[in-house]
Amino acid sequence: MRPLSRRRLRLLKVLALLSQIRWYNILLLLIGQYLAALFVFAQPGNRLNVFYDYDTHAIIWSSSLLLAFGFLINSFYDLEADSINRPKQTAFERLVSKATSLRVALLLLVTGLLLSYTVNWKSLGFFLSYAGGLWYYSHKLSKIPIISHVSAAVLALYPFFGIAVHQHYISLHTLAFGSLLGLTLFSRELLKDLMRYKGDIVAGRATAVSEFGIEKTRNALLVNTSMAWVPAFFTKGLFSGMAEIGIVIILIGLTASNLLTLRSNELSNLRWAHLGYKIILVIGVLTIPFL
């Protein structure tokens, strides 16, 4: 076998690093925040001003850089379990040395906090708490069943709360939509436990499955699916027609994904359900302009 050229090896390392920081999640966060800033928080006649507002750009990119930092830190804590649950992807990501990953994580952390500092001290304090939450999740909270799932969902939505506070915009219908996405994220975390419970057990990691069993975890998914319909039902009059269509699609997709999880023990079907969650989150982001 021919050895890899330096250029190809560098490219593979860049791809491995992008895999570690979950670039698709970062991209989805960026798109979602810009759509929210343009179509939810900005006045209809002043939407183009968002592109000239430095503070908005700084807040959006700060949150994205810090989330990338969080994914890198989490990859260190989950290395043993990930080596069992997804050995090929983990082996690929290990093309990047731990020292390099740590340096990149530190760079992302410092850059993200400096960006927030250029806005104001309150923004710096907000994102310091976000960075601390991301670290504490990986260090402690991820090892506590249910609390880890709730905190993961909250941390995923935390940047949207930051941009909403910056724009001085909080409303009932955006909170209801955020609750729907939060319940979707909570369900996805439960599904991950079902997909990875073998590796988690070997690694001695406490999860919902290891603590409460497979059936109770599935029942929790069923309850969560039912709960997801509640905020959408009671606030449906506050949404536009297009937003209601997007919300219905999200609810149907969430229900279908969870039913697939309830009816199957095979990992391949659980992966299809996980793909369903990814599609749901993309639809959720695309629904933001119609809120």
Give the residue among 95, 90, 89 at the shortest CA–CA distance from 80: 90
pLDDT in tens, 192-224: 888 877 777 776 677 788 788 888 888 888 888
Rounded Cα gap, residues 250 and 232, in angstroms: 10
pLDDT recorded at residue 265: 65
Contacts of 51 (CB under 8 A, 6+ apart): none
Mean pLDDT is lowest, of 24-28, 102-106, 117-121, 230-234, for 230-234
pLDDT in tens, 45-78: 777 888 888 998 999 999 999 999 999 888 877 7
| Domain parsing of the chain, residue ranges | 13-166, 171-291
Q: Who wins on pLDDT, 107 or 5?
A: 107
Report the percentage of the chain scoring pLDDT > 90.
Answer: 18
pLDDT recorded at residue 17: 84
Rounded Cα gap, residues 19 and 16, in angstroms: 5
pLDDT recorded at residue 211: 80
pLDDT in tens, 163-175: 877 777 777 778 8
Rounded Cα gap, residues 202 and 199, in angstroms: 5
**CATH code at 13-166:** 1.10.357
DSSP 86: S
pLDDT recorded at residue 1: 46
pLDDT recorded at residue 3: 58
Q: Who wins on pLDDT, 179 or 234?
A: 179
Q: Would you tell me the crossing angle of helices 98-117 and 54-77 to the nearest 10 degrees?
A: 150
**CATH code at 171-291:** 1.20.120
On the CB side of 232, CA atoms within 13 Å amount to: 22
For the residues 241-249, what does the mean pLDDT come to?
87
CB atoms within 10 A of CB 101: 20
Rounded Cα gap, residues 173 and 268, in angstroms: 36
